[in-house]
């Protein structure tokens, strides 16, 4: 049967690994520290923005991971042209993540799905709770709100045949307080493709709480101190005891 | 020497890094003139079948591939390259494959799978018979899958492995010198790299 995925999500600014939320550079942990052999997938996000050209420092990081991980590598951040997407796929990325570009140019998303196939294009959706206890969608790294019904916007994204949705809770991102289960339960019933979730994983119970949901295929974790060598395998052992199936038995540890 | 077929949208660097890791000699084949010293072929694939088959034709690789394989050269098709081994695919229209193994490729949505499509993540491949390709790899091992389409109407004799995802999917085939896997061995760490190494040793 299909296993639930534990996904490591790493954010880079100008080629330097950053802790999210506060966007502080993290020099203590280098990419060499990442426990390559127990993650199920790695997401690399570039948050530096260059007008037209692609960030060469980030491209080098993608190449480093492709050369060393032998795992699915997913790449996002600032992909707003076919050319940029091609460059990322040419580096060996398995999938790309789109987000803000769909708002102004949904045809780009459709076109990338046609060229690279549905399963190669993930769409991220960043949501934040408003004062009425409902959710708004944001783009451009949480800077710009999308007016209107969030479900309608998600349906528009799904109409492009994008292969997965990455649901990100802006409120819980970096909080370590757990995934936003209310958000996930509210949105996931409208989504018919695999859903991966991000934002808030702080302890093993948080992963259990979210991965036990049928609608959730994988959980991302961004906080680097979770993935010292032993921690991902101990997370997977913890989940196994609780009857959540992850890929555990065929790693060499 | 393994020739990696590059039609412009395939996931070449991951295959390259896997072969380097296992110290396997390779070259990249972009046109029919690149096949000198090539003894085996890996046909990788990212993308949709439509773009893939168009590029295969446009780069005049279709004929040379078909000729070499029919002459007995071992080939390993991966993901979309696996789909390309069959007669037909129904991804964004109806498109011809290499026709090396009888069968057609259809959307998972048509296969009565009551689960989310695409099928993404780590899943087991149950190996149905003894094969050099899976030497040293036990039956319950996980590989990384990401696909929305799957082959059907394949003769039992050629089905090497299957995977359960709401239905029994055909995820590995073997017919003489022709091998194909639905999953991405180059992205499947230890077991995937072992499978690629096994393929490199097939003569």
What are the tens digits of pLDDT across the range B151-188? 999 999 999 999 999 999 999 999 999 999 999 999 99
pLDDT of residue A174: 81
What are the tens digits of pLDDT across the range A124-137? 999 999 999 999 99
Q: Is the dihedral angle over the CA atoms A73, A74, A78, A79 positive or is it negative?
A: positive
Sheet with strand B40-43: strands edge to edge? B26-29, B2-5, B40-43, B75-78, B178-181, B168-175, B159-164, B126-127
Cα–Cα distance, B43 to B97 (Å, whole number): 13
Cα–Cα distance, B18 to A251 (Å, whole number): 17
Highest mean pLDDT of the ranges A8-12, B50-54, B149-153: B149-153
Provide the Cα torsion B80, B85, B89, B95; round to 10°: 100
pLDDT of residue A139: 94
Q: Is A36 or B93 the better-scoring residue by pLDDT?
A: B93
pLDDT grade for A223, boundaries at 50, 70 and 90 = low
Instruction: Answer yes or no: is pLDDT of A35 > 50.
Output: no
Provide the Cα torsion A248, A68, A9, A13; round to 10°: 170
Q: Look at A2 and B80 and tell me if their CB atoms are within 8 Å.
A: no
Distance of CA A185 to the CA centre of its chain: 18
The values of phi and psi at residue B167, to 5°, are -165, 165
Q: Which run of H or E residues covers position A206?
A: helix A204-211
pLDDT of residue A37: 61
Å between A246 CA and nearest CA of chain B: 8
**Active-site residue, from B79, B125, B147, B197:** B79
Taking a contact as any Cβ pair under 8 Å apart, which residues of chain A between 102 and 121 contact chain B?
113-120
Instruction: Answer yes or no: is pLDDT of B140 > 70.
Output: yes
Q: Which of B4, B6, B9, B14 to mutate to test the interface with A (most CBs of A within 10 A)?
A: B14
Lowest mean per-residue pLDDT among A124-128, B22-26, B52-56, B135-139: B52-56
Query: Does the predicted model carry a pTM greater than 0.90?
Result: yes
Q: Look at A94 and B14 and tell me if their CB atoms are within 8 Å.
A: yes
Cα–Cα distance, B53 to B149 (Å, whole number): 15
Task: Indicate the residue of B116, B189, B193 with minimum beta-carbon distance to A192.
Answer: B116
User: Half-sphere exposure (CA, 13 Å, Cβ side) for A226?
Assistant: 24
The per-residue pLDDT of chain B, averaged, comes to 93
pLDDT over 70, % of chain A:
86
The per-residue pLDDT of chain A, averaged, comes to 87
Whether A9 and A19 have beta carbons less than 8 Å apart is answered as: no
Establish whether B79 is a catalytic residue. Answer: yes
Å between B64 CA and nearest CA of chain A: 24
ipTM value? 0.90
B-chain residues near A217 (CB < 8 A): 116, 120-121
Q: Does residue A163 sit at the B interface (CB-CB below 8 Å)?
A: yes
Establish whether B29 is a catalytic residue. Answer: no
Strand partners, B145: B121
Task: Indicate the residue of A68, A91, A218 with minimum beta-carbon distance to B121.
Answer: A218
**Active-site residue, from B125, B174, B184, B197:** B184
Average pLDDT over residues A203-214: 95
Whether B76 and B47 have beta carbons less than 8 Å apart is answered as: no
β-pairing, A164-169 with A121-129? parallel
Strands (E), A70-174: 73-76, 95-98, 121-129, 135-139, 144-146, 164-169
A46: left (phi over 0), alpha (psi -120 to 50) or beta: beta
A-chain residues near B113 (CB < 8 A): none
B-chain residues near A163 (CB < 8 A): 118, 120, 146, 148
The verdict on whether omega for the bond into residue B118 sits within 30 degrees of 0, i.e. cis, is: yes
**Token pair 């359960």 is at which residue?**
B164
Whether B141 and A142 have beta carbons less than 8 Å apart is answered as: no
What are the tens digits of pLDDT across the range A41-52? 999 999 887 666
Instruction: Answer yes or no: is pLDDT of B53 > 90.
Output: no
Task: Indicate the residue of A115, A192, A251 with minimum beta-carbon distance to B9.
Answer: A115
Nearest residue in chain A measured CA to CA from B45: A116
C-beta atoms surrounding A137 within 10 Å:
24
Å between B16 CA and nearest CA of chain A: 8
Q: Does residue A214 sit at the B interface (CB-CB below 8 Å)?
A: no
Q: Look at B144 and A72 and tell me if their CB atoms are within 8 Å.
A: yes
3-state secondary structure of A183: helix
Instruction: Answer yes or no: is pLDDT of A253 > 50.
Output: no
A-chain residues near B12 (CB < 8 A): 90, 92
Cα–Cα distance, A163 to A154 (Å, whole number): 13
pLDDT over 90, % of chain A:
61
Of B69, B19, B2, B9, the closest CA to residue B192 belongs to: B19
pLDDT of residue B137: 93
């Amino acid at each position: 049967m299909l296993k639930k995925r534990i996904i490591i999500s790493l954010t880079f600014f100008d080629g330097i690994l950053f802790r999210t939320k506060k966007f502080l550079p993290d020099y203590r942990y280098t990419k060499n520290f990442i426990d390559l052999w127990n993650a199920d997938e790695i997401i690399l996000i570039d948050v530096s923005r260059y007008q037209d050209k692609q960030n060469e420092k980030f491209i080098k990081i993608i190449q480093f991971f492709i050369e060393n991980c032998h795992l699915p590598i997913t790449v996002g951040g600032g992909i707003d042209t076919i050319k940029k997407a091609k460059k990322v796929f040419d580096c060996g990325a398995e999938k790309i993540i789109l987000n803000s570009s769909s708002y102004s140019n949904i045809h780009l998303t459709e076109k990338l799905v046609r060229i690279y196939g549905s399963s190669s294009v993930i769409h991220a959706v960043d949501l934040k709770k408003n004062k009425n206890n409902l959710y708004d969608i944001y783009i451009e790294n949480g800077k710009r709100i999308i007016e209107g019904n969030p479900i309608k916007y998600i349906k528009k994204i799904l109409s492009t045949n994008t292969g997965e949705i990455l649901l990100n809770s802006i409120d819980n991102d970096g909080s370590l307080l757990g995934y936003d289960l209310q958000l996930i339960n509210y949105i996931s019933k409208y989504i018919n493709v695999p859903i991966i979730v991000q934002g808030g994983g702080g302890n093993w119970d948080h992963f259990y709480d979210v991965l036990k949901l049928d609608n959730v295929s994988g959980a991302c974790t961004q906080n680097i101190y979770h993935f010292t060598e032993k921690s991902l395998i101990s997370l997977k052992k913890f989940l196994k005891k609780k009857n959540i199936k992850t890929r555990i038995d065929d790693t060499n540890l | 020497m393994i020739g990696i077929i590059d039609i412009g949208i395939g996931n070449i660097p991951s295959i390259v890094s896997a072969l380097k890791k296992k110290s396997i000699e390779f070259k990249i084949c972009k046109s029919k003139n690149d096949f000198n010293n090539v003894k085996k072929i890996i046909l990788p694939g990212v993308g949709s079948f439509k773009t893939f088959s168009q590029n295969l034709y446009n780069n005049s690789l279709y004929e040379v591939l078909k000729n070499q394989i029919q002459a007995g050269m071992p080939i390993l098709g991966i993901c979309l390259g696996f789909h390309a081994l069959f007669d037909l695919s129904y991804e964004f229209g109806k498109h011809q494959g290499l026709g090396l193994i009888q069968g057609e490729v259809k959307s998972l949505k048509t296969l009565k799978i009551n689960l989310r499509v695409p099928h993404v993540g780590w899943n087991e491949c149950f190996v149905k018979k003894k094969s050099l390709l899976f030497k040293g790899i036990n039956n319950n091992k996980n590989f990384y899958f990401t696909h929305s389409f799957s082959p059907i109407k394949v003769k039992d004799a050629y089905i090497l492995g299957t995977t359960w995802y709401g239905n029994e999917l055909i995820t590995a085939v073997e017919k003489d010198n022709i091998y194909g896997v639905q999953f991405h061995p180059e992205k499947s760490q230890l077991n995937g790299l072992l499978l690629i190494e096994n393929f490199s040793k097939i003569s």
